[in-house]
A and B are shown apart, each in its own frame.
Chain A
Amino acid sequence: MAATGAIDSGGRPGASGWDSLRRFWRRRPGLRALVLLSPALIILLVMMVAPLLLTVALSFATQNGFQIDRTPTLANYAMLFSPEGNLYRILIVKSLWVSFTATVAVVVLAYPMAYYLAFRVHRRKLLWIILITVPFWTSYLLRVFAWKVILGFNGAINSGLIWTGVIDKPLEFLLYNPTAVTITLAHAWAAYAILPIYVSLEKIDRSLLEAATDLGDGPLRRFLRITLPLSLPGTIAATLLVFIPTVGDYLTPSLVGGTSGIMVGNSIATLYGKANNGPMGAALSIAMMLAITLVVCAFLVLIGPKRLRRQAG
């Protein structure tokens, strides 16, 4: 529709040519849809597909001082599997583990919240939804900063506890370790989990719940047999939405992780920056993506058949 106008404002062909062009245009809705979608698709192609392929290609190259040798080689990957690559392997596993624990924490905390929102809030639903989404849209950097303020050596918790006389020396285990990273991630990604779970709970046909009650199920059995299985799609979506991006998180580990809380994202950034070894960084990125894909597939296989059986039964 808008594109017709674009032709209008461009060079106008002769009257008869113009009419036949218009007829051609009118008869092909698929073409019109394609024209409307093309800017988005071009951006996707040029700025996502091409760069990702570039990173894959780079992972097979080698860095020679300031030059990149583009002769294809598996050296970077071989390095990842060699004894010297041990550091990187540990880092990937650690990142997966930290993300996994954070994801579990997020989903376990988000589920009751989403349940409350879907089944217990009747009148001020919009207000609740806005309250939950607002922190999600505020700066990620600031949310991480907030935890640095809370958990720091002289931070809110330590100074608060000293002030009230509960402890007399600051607790050192709060900041700069993997637990701090987990807590911060669990806080920062909360809304990502609440919303999909809430949507799938909201979709549940209430008459199913009434039927279960009428047929003699108590609240717990009803929850386990109806509500939980029917909300699994949202819960699975929430799990993936939190797990996938957090594995490669850069900001949280670099601000609250310290040396022991470093994750694979930091290492990739260092390889591209200070270490000046883009090809190795690319290989590590690909390895991280593969590791994430592997874990996600394993998770889906683990949960998939069970879910299908439950929903069929």
Chain B
Amino acid sequence: MHSKAISRLLTAFALAYLAFLYIPVLLLPLFSFNDNIYITFPLKGFTLKWYEAMVAAQPLIDSLVASVQVGFAVSVVSTVIGMLAAMGLTRYQFPGKGLITSTIMLPLVIPYIILGISLLSLARQVLDIDLSLWTIVAAHVLVCVPLSMLVLIARMEGFDKSLEEASLDLGEGAWRTFWRVTFPLAVPGIVSSFLLCFSTSFDEFVLAFFLSGNQPTLPIYMYSLLRFPAKVAGALALASCILMGSIILIVFAEWYRRRGIQSQQEGLI
């Protein structure tokens, strides 16, 4: 076999794979400008009426506000908890560290539906609290803390521990050392943790589906539209906007985080 031929084949495959990843998703914005209630080819003509209808829909605005509130609360709480835990895991040696780390990551591998029904039982049968946006926040924090930790542990392991020791040796207290050394160095990790938690919470459906009260989040509202064929076209404009928003957010977060990792590797910090 010629390695050049294999190489070309691989490149072709990689490009085809990217197309497979992106084309389905990009069809949503394409049809959102199409002047037809049915999502079919050929395209009929350019229209902005779906976007106009979207802006005018009050339930949609309400659910968007709810999702932003939930996402914001989730990312603040998860990032603070994740930061504390990442410091505990990277700055100290103690027995059972590996076990604790893998236990904290568990929520990421348990099927969400199991977490959803179990949290529902906890809220309704044991704590007897009404479902609201707060129950969704609680559920999202559970799955976002491990995410935040993954990002922050990588960041905290990356920079030189002796910087903190130097600060302590030079007479700064632990509290001031945290704010003047640790925190500034961890900022890229904190920012990307915040963004990842926000977008995870903003997009999450299953947990919110089980734990929402009478106030739906955006994915729940969206799902209710998708189940009625007549409303699917209207959902396209909304889908396109969410898509654009999260792509911008994520590209920024990834670029920011990986730039941080790269500059560390080059010794620039």
| Interface size class, chain A | 35 or more
Dominant secondary structure at the B interface = helix
Q: Which of B49-57, B58-66, B204-212 contacts its partner?
A: B204-212
**Which of chain B's residues has its CB closest to A150's CB?**
B24
Q: A115-B10, A247-B111 are in contact. Are A1 and B100 (CB under 8 A)?
A: no
B209: chain A residues within 8 A (beta carbon): 250, 269
Min CB distance B229 to A, Å, is 9
A155: chain B residues within 8 A (beta carbon): 39-40
Interface membership of chain A positions 278-313, coded 1 if the CB is closer than 8 angstroms to chain B and 0 otherwise: 100110010011001000000000000000000000
In the complex, the answer to whether A126 meets B175 with C-beta atoms within 8 Å is: no
Bound Cα distance A86, B141 (Å): 37
Chain B residues with a Cβ under 8 A of chain A:
1, 3, 6-7, 10-11, 13-14, 17-18, 20-22, 24-25, 27-28, 31, 38-42, 80-82, 84-85, 87-89, 91-94, 100, 103-104, 106-107, 109-115, 117-122, 125-126, 138-139, 141-142, 145, 149, 173-175, 177-178, 182, 196, 199-200, 202-203, 205-206, 209-210, 219, 222-223, 226, 232, 235-236, 239, 242-243, 246-247, 250-251, 254-255, 258, 262
In the complex, the answer to whether A1 meets B25 with C-beta atoms within 8 Å is: no
Is A167 in the interface zone, CB < 8 Å from B?
no
Bound Cα distance A179, B141 (Å): 34
Interface membership of chain A positions 36-79, coded 1 if the CB is closer than 8 angstroms to chain B and 0 otherwise: 11011101100110111011001000000000100000000000
B6: chain A residues within 8 A (beta carbon): 219
Q: A138-B243, A285-B114 are in contact. Are A163 and B41 (CB under 8 A)?
A: yes
Q: Which of A10-18, A27-35, A203-211 contacts its partner?
A: A27-35
In the complex, the answer to whether A281 meets B117 with C-beta atoms within 8 Å is: yes
In the complex, the answer to whether A4 meets B173 with C-beta atoms within 8 Å is: yes
Chain A residues with a Cβ under 8 A of chain B:
1-2, 4-5, 8, 29-30, 32-37, 39-41, 43-44, 47-48, 50-52, 54-55, 58, 68, 109, 112-113, 115-117, 120, 126, 129-135, 137-143, 145-150, 152, 154-156, 158-160, 162-163, 187, 190, 218-220, 240-241, 244-245, 247-251, 255, 265, 268-269, 272, 278, 281-282, 285, 288-289, 292
In the complex, the answer to whether A54 meets B126 with C-beta atoms within 8 Å is: yes
Q: A141-B223, A150-B24 are in contact. Are A113 and B17 (CB under 8 A)?
A: yes
A55: chain B residues within 8 A (beta carbon): 114, 117-118, 121
B118: chain A residues within 8 A (beta carbon): 48, 51-52, 54-55
